[in-house]
Chain A
């Protein structure tokens, strides 16, 4: 029997991450096509409820429940997942291209002597079960279809928001298999002392469905209040350009662009953003782009679906008000 399709189920603050659910949806389709079971991998401590939730998506949930895996540790995670992969020989292993996955999966690929495709924008199966991963090169100026010719599993890390969420949860049909965590402490040279994540009401930029980004045209840090207000109405996350971050108006983590984050929301607002190429590289896979700029010649309009020519200080409050009425949050 051909090996299973594995999906890494990442979780944060007691919830399965949205990007992992997207991959469980895609994984279900892929598993159907290759005629293999879909297996979710869950590592954590005190997350039984999540294991149960995963049984509505996956045929089997492998659950390592142990304080040793409560926090992500690349060496411990790599060791226990690699051991199981050696034994079970999955043919495909999918995960969202998160900070965690991008830290863990290259090592896992090395240990399993297989290839890895990162930041994929699409996945397709060829008839022989070969996974074709489409990934961006040169900041999205070109795309490449890559396959893993040697080594299994075929590992793909997919950019969040690439695939839609699976259909509403059906009844639980999968089973949870609990696995012991056996780690040789002599091989663990990393110790995670602290994870600090200031509580935020908003999704991270990489997972947000709507993003409102401000550029130098915002003129000052305090003017980002106008974007925050629009973001509140749209349940959006606020982003910033390199110029804004370098001016110290917003933290580094808010930067969209080549040296910041690459995002793929459903709806992207570029407000007072000129459209420098290093910014465009971070947002050009957004589904719908609205640019607001007073300069009709601004390059950002070339990368937009809708171009609003006007003074952002006049347009933003009106837009927030109109959206409030339009979305019934008034």
Chain B
């Protein structure tokens, strides 16, 4: 069984992000980490491998040096191999163009299951995973909190989170599943794993290797375009209320009613 895990290196939630004064872009502090939901996806692949049988786990990302860091984290956790999709033509792509590249690379890999995070912290869109499945004509289930493979590994029972509840879905393999919090707790890479990952060879695939024309990848292949960036609007200065509890409670209720008019 071959499981591919799509991963992405993203800014840490503590990293500062500054919008340029002219709105043309953002400056991101150099504090990156493996996307949280992707770490759950890697963990799940390793747990399936741990259940026995002949399972190979391949980690895949698109991007340059930052991508390599994501792959090394996945390898350190215990993945078998890593693939970096890297070509100048891939730059500036939206989710559509990114999914196009990933799908083309996966097409040649004979995968039985694709795992990914439910969304990446940087854009929180959660679009790439299902798009990859669509391009591969494979079913997809997002926001997955439980995966139970059938003994013959031809299908799986999936639990998916929905508002205030869950859905239980039976799906045939190959399938793409996106990991939601609650699926598992990702392991911390062991020291031996980290050392092994540093030496591991990372397979690189460029545009020619995946066999796509330059017109369908990167900026050229994108559907969406960012016109400009904005700062998050600032909240007015806080009104602090201190003193006797009974007094300040009366005050805050009064303010919510008279000033904010929300109750």
A137 to B129, CA, bound (A): 18
Which residues of A285-302 have CB atoms within 8 Å of chain B's CB atoms? 287-291, 296, 301-302
Contact code string B245-263 (vs A, CB < 8 Å = 1, else 0):
1101110110111001011
Contact between B19 and A253 (Cβ–Cβ < 8 Å)?
no
Across the interface, name the chain A residue whose C-beta is closest to B248. A308
Q: Which of A71, A107, A134, A284 contacts B133 (CB 8 A)?
A: A107
Which segment, of B80-88, B136-144, B200-208, faces chain A?
A: B136-144
Q: Which of B99, B145, B230, B252 contacts A306 (CB 8 A)?
A: B252
Q: Which of B95, B163, B236 contacts A116 (CB 8 A)?
A: B95
Across the interface, name the chain A residue whose C-beta is closest to B26. A142
Q: Does A3 contact B (CB under 8 A)?
A: no
Q: Does A278 contact B (CB under 8 A)?
A: yes
Contact between B240 and A143 (Cβ–Cβ < 8 Å)?
no
Q: Which of A204, A253, A319, A327 has the most CB of B within 10 A?
A: A253
Q: Which of A142, A288, A301, A308 contacts B260 (CB 8 A)?
A: A288
Which residues of A240-273 have CB atoms within 8 Å of chain B's CB atoms? 252-253, 255, 258-260, 262, 266-267
**How distant is A227 from chain B, measured CB to nearest CB, in Å?**
15
Q: Does A311 contact B (CB under 8 A)?
A: yes
Which residues of A37-79 have CB atoms within 8 Å of chain B's CB atoms? 71-72, 74-75
Contact between B121 and A139 (Cβ–Cβ < 8 Å)?
yes
**How distant is A120 from chain B, measured CB to nearest CB, in Å?**
10
A315 to B225, CA, bound (A): 48
Contact between A308 and B162 (Cβ–Cβ < 8 Å)?
no
Across the interface, name the chain A residue whose C-beta is closest to B182. A252
**How distant is B126 from chain A, measured CB to nearest CB, in Å?**
6
A119-B124 contact given A196-B168, A289-B235, A306-B238, CB 8 Å threshold: yes
- Listed in ascending order, the chain A residues whose CB lies under 8 Å from chain B are 12, 71-72, 74-75, 98-100, 102-103, 106-107, 109-111, 113-119, 132, 134-151, 189-198, 200, 204, 206-207, 210, 234, 252-253, 255, 258-260, 262, 266-267, 277-278, 281, 284, 287-291, 296, 301-311, 314-315, 318-319, 322-323, 326-327
- Listed in ascending order, the chain B residues whose CB lies under 8 Å from chain A are 11, 13-17, 19, 26, 28, 36-37, 94-96, 99, 121-131, 133-135, 139-143, 145, 157, 160-172, 175, 181-182, 222-232, 235-236, 238-242, 245-246, 248-250, 252-253, 255-257, 260, 262-263
Q: 5 more A-B contacts (CB under 8 A) besides A143-B231, A194-B167, A323-B253?
A: A99-B143, A189-B175, A266-B262, A318-B245, A319-B253
